[in-house]
Structure 1
Amino acid sequence: MSCYEIELRLNPEASFDQSSELIEHFTDVYFKIAEIKKRLTDALESTGTADNSNPLMNNTTIISSNAPTLPRITLKTFDGTISAWPEYRANFESLIHHHESLTPSAKLNYLRTTLSGPALALVKELPITDVNYPIAWDALIGMYENKRMIGSSLLNKLLSFSAIQNENKNDLSNFMSTFGECVSAIKTQEIADLGDFMTLHIALKCLPKSLVKTFERRQTRETMPTTKDLLKFVQRQIEILDLTASAPMSSSSSESSKKYSHDSSPKRSFTATAHSPTEKTRSRCLCDCDHFLYKCPKFIEASVDERRDFVEKNHLCTICLRSGNHQDRCDSGLTCRVCNDGHNTLLHCDMPKEADPQLSDRKERVKRKNSSSSESQAEQETADSSGDESKRVHQALKSNPTETVLLGTAVVRVKGADGRFHKVRAMIDSASMTTIIRDDCARRLGLPRDATSERIIGLADQSIPGVSASTVCIIKPNKSGKPIFRSNAVIMEKITTQMPTTSVPEPISSKYRHLQLADPRFFEPQDVQLLIGADIFPYIFTGKRETTTPNEPVALSSVFAHLQTLMIVQEVSQNLASELADPKNSYE
């Protein structure tokens, strides 16, 4: 029964003209909707997705109160510990890296939140953009994806496990978790010969660290050395020891070995170094304190005659004022700063040079000696007395210049693992056969490393220690995009001391302010992070140069802008000369 019929029975005399029109309109709309519904249902049934694939039905199923609530998945974190890398990588790749619905920028955000320590340092400077995610992920892969390092770290963890003394649940549970995790992680590395790998690892533990470093430098990142390789290497070392032990050293080679035994690595610092005092060379002091005679306040305050008497009574050298030495055999190279005779400045007195024939003889002997110890001499001569003596020494020091070599430095940009170019202070050295980058700089840039067997040879054919690996450096000027240099650089813990070794005086450095300098603060001693060698050197300079006056730096035009290089002659230690007027300041 329709609504119309019901209303008609309730009110037979009512007028239904208008109501009938509304009912007819409603009926038309209803049947049109029913027809559309039928067509949609037929279309869904024809594609086989009428039930389970219906979005409305699926949503209803998801929000059903009977559906179980799953726990929230927590991502593993990684702090740079190499043994934890396999588990972290598997976890992150399965949940985030291979998740197609996530954008690369979202993946990078997840990546940064799961990292800490050195691992985070590799990617924390990268802006969160789609293009930076593969760069960050590749940087982590390049740093930590190393089968041998991971396997060795896991074996170390197993071998360092403390023996269980008593049978208890906690210790046994710790044993199970440690060995279970490590063994599973080692198997995931798919090492071809696991037994040989373990034997090699134990064998390397039995050798000296210096020998192990030499062996490792000959390996590459991609290869897996074997126990056989190690035995061949050790056998070769035995042969080398036999050969070097059977060859007698001549007297000249013995002297050479003594000369270079303290430090075989070349130091590009052109200043003399003062040797540390020993008990054998330390002379007895007037005040019985533990310092050299020329630093003794009582000796300084004494008259020249009293000083001479003390030196003669104690059989001290009249040149270096030390015991166990004699002026006829003194090789210090010191002379008097007042008269240039062969005696110490503290023993100088105003008399004609011809009055002491022994001093004249010593002067000739000293002149024939070619050993120079300028820094030691400066330390010696600061111990002069007050009054006229200090004035003469002050004048002598001011008139004795020293030489400082100013090597060319430049601020360049090196490409890091993040794809960006970072500022690095470099030194230009045509005498170096290869480009060298400092270890901490390579780590800061996140550069991938490869093992290298390359050796760095310094003065006297001495091998330089500290070569750990090599990497590819892409270098460009600081202020322009071209040219771009590519160099296979050696990684070392330290390249050289701060350059320049001493500050360049302001009157000299100010003459180059009008130039565009490759290193705007070339005059300040600073660390060198990169040494650009002969592999790039020929392509740097353009041939132009600018000079001011002789004995001052030459500005050489290069692709990096102007480089300052030359030997600077400057006055020695202005502070030292100004303090000599008060002897107390010189001996505190």
Structure 2
Amino acid sequence: MAQNKHIREQRALRESLYLRLEDIATVAASFQTEPENHTVRRMLEVRSESVKNIYDDILKIHGDIVMKVATLPDSNLDEEHAFLKRVDETYFTIQSIVRELPVQFRSSAQSPVADKTSIVQTSKTRLPKLNLQTFDGKLENWSAFIQVFNRSIHDNNTLANVERFEYLLGCLSGEPLNLIKTIVLSDDNYPIAYKTLLDRYDNKRELATHYWDRLRSLQKLKDETPSGLRSLIYNFNENLSALRALKIADSLEDFMLLNILLEKLDSKTRRYFEAEIRNLKVCEKDHIIYRCPVLKAKSPADRFKVVKEKRLCINCLRPHQVKNCSSTSTCRTCHKNHHTLLHFDRFSGSSGAINETSDSGNTAPAEIVVPTVNALASSLSRQVALLSTALVDVHDSQGHPHTLRVLIDNGSEASFITVKAARNLNLKRQHDKIQIQGIGANSSIFSSGSIHCKISPHGSCQPAIHLEAHIIPHVASVIPSQSLQFYSWDHINNLKLADPNFYISRHVDLLLGADVYAQLIRPGLVLAPSPRCPSAFNTIFGWVLSGSVQPEQTNERVINSFHVKIMEDCPENDLESTMRQFWQVEEVPMISTSPDDELCEKLYVEGYSKLPSGRFVVPLPFRDSKPVFPESKDIAIRRFFALEHRLKKDPVLKQSYIY
């Protein structure tokens, strides 16, 4: 009876552990259904850490139960075997789903991984595991940290923004972590967090001042030692190289002279100066605002917008109101009361038409009215071209359809799919890499692999076509380039459109190129009755529209061109080339042996012998010429006199030394 009671208690304990395992399996199933749900993914990440321990405890208790049940009369272990099979299925199902998590989310319960700052490249070129440098807020570490992070994470097109955000959080500590840790973890918030760090730490002038202060504070050599001299030269070159690399100003000499002058200012005056510099800065360099190349490259209307945002005077571009300006200069082009950089021809046909003049040219104080870009653009008549878009069903690895928006374009030699769409389909990826060449024969990007998929009309399984789609970050900008008013054209009123919302500006997930174009087309063409409305042609997905339409007046226009060529002979990947150069530089050089080394080796090989006692006898090589030891005679004489003096003081030691 006592044994039966113990078995029941063990079974109850085992069942409670199994219920915990089932709860984790439920979370894992939710993640498999909604892989983009960050809350579910985080929950699975945390709870999966205990999966292995729960499974081990169940096996331990189960083994104890089996041993006890086996000793009972008329024992039957079928029930125990069935329970163990159920546990194994649940456990391995969880494990298979957890493996779908990105590398940085997998816990040690599934497979040992490195520290949170370790990353493993998942691109086609397998690189060694890299340990990202952490950043704790010290300015001298910022440049090295941001360069490594940008190269490994920020510019890695195989990572989603939320994954980049995770890596970024793992690389920070102290003040930098406190700056962004309250930002919600999401794709949209990664650029915000990244820009927050750049705004705080990527201040080239502050970094340059830091290196300049370190140069000025180098300690003077106290002793004439080689190590001290080497240390001084190393520290000097290190800070000077870092200062030059920042390219803080047009001239390094100007920057140094400026800092020498700032050191002579009182604290209050310097604080006012720094506040004005921050207010006037348009780019990263330190110069007067009307000499800023970034500002001069903008259109006059954009310059005016910058001036207003920074609350500067439109006469002299200084931080005060126009009524308080003492400048008596006028515009050198029209002689009106505004700065020359803010002049533009209000009658020109383009908002970007400007007159480049000299840098100075301050104007007399007066409030003026500058026409905006929208006012100029409103007089322009522009058309928007509708491209052939359709809604289709693309089947994932489980055979379930996903509705994607496609662009049909026979100007492309291949078909393309976005990284996001390919990830949602979860189809087997071929790790091939092709170079994609766009209009103008410019080499633009590389694909990150390809998938084979089946597509069919939206809401129907037939007809279906199979195609190979190369994976790229984005197929195009939004199509059409701007949302249009809904038009009811008589010539297409009775047609079933493949994309009913063709007039709404949206992203495209898939581009169908010339490789499948012939399979899509069906007989049927409806020509446009006028140049301001589109034509329609028939496809297996329905009727698609193509042609020009007259939109509302706008100041922006984006032209999408999709003539794409596949380049088979791809140049070496930049990251791969950089890493190879790094290994070559860091490789320990091979040192060739000298003639003396070869002679010593020859004497050893030909002349060594072994005594019966087990010791080896090796001939000692001597040089034919007398070796030169600079200043060794004085050292030997001093040591001789020191020994002689010591022996005179200790007769016993002298007697032992002589005999």
Task: Tell me if both proteins adopt one fold, taking TM over 0.5 as the criterion.
Answer: no
Band of TM-score, shorter chain: 0.3 to 0.5
